[in-house]
Amino acid sequence: MEHHTSPTWLRAGYGLFAVWFVLLGVHMLVDPAGWYHATPGVPAEGPLNIHFIRDIGSAFIMVAVAYGLSLQRSAGWQLPAVAAVLPALHGMIHFIGIVDGHSHGSALIVELLGVVFPGGIAVLLPLVHYKHQKKGTSHDVAF
């Protein structure tokens, strides 16, 4: 079996996602009301539902764990691809809402930069990782 290593810049992306999603998830678990009121556009979607926010926070922590495990040099593209499912679907839902004219003002900026853009990057990272692994380019690429 051939041994592949993931490039440093890919692991950096996985690391950033691990940190982002663990911070987001912990905030949602520890202070769901604070997260609800601090996130532009969320209160306009309906009343505060602490249990639901904590459920979503738990899912984000699961994503963070998967990205954290993807930091191993020998990790393949499969684990970050699975980790990307939630941010990608979440980003698509928000993108469709934007296209339908659902978001405006500061909520639009938060959705684009905090949900849609990361969802797209989450998909691209494992695709590029797969391409590197398939080509056998296991050399490290520095920033």
For helices 117-135 and 85-99, the axis angle rounded to 10 degrees is 140
How do the pLDDT tens digits run along the chain, 143 residues long? Answer: 445 577 788 889 999 999 999 999 999 999 999 999 999 889 988 999 999 999 999 999 999 999 999 988 778 899 999 999 999 999 999 999 999 988 878 889 989 999 999 999 999 999 999 998 887 754 444 43
User: One-letter amino acid identity for 70?
Assistant: S
Domain positions in the chain are 8-135
Exposure class string for 103-122: b at 16+ Cβ within 10 A, else e: beeebbebbeebbbebbbbb
**What's the confidence (pLDDT) of residue 141?**
44
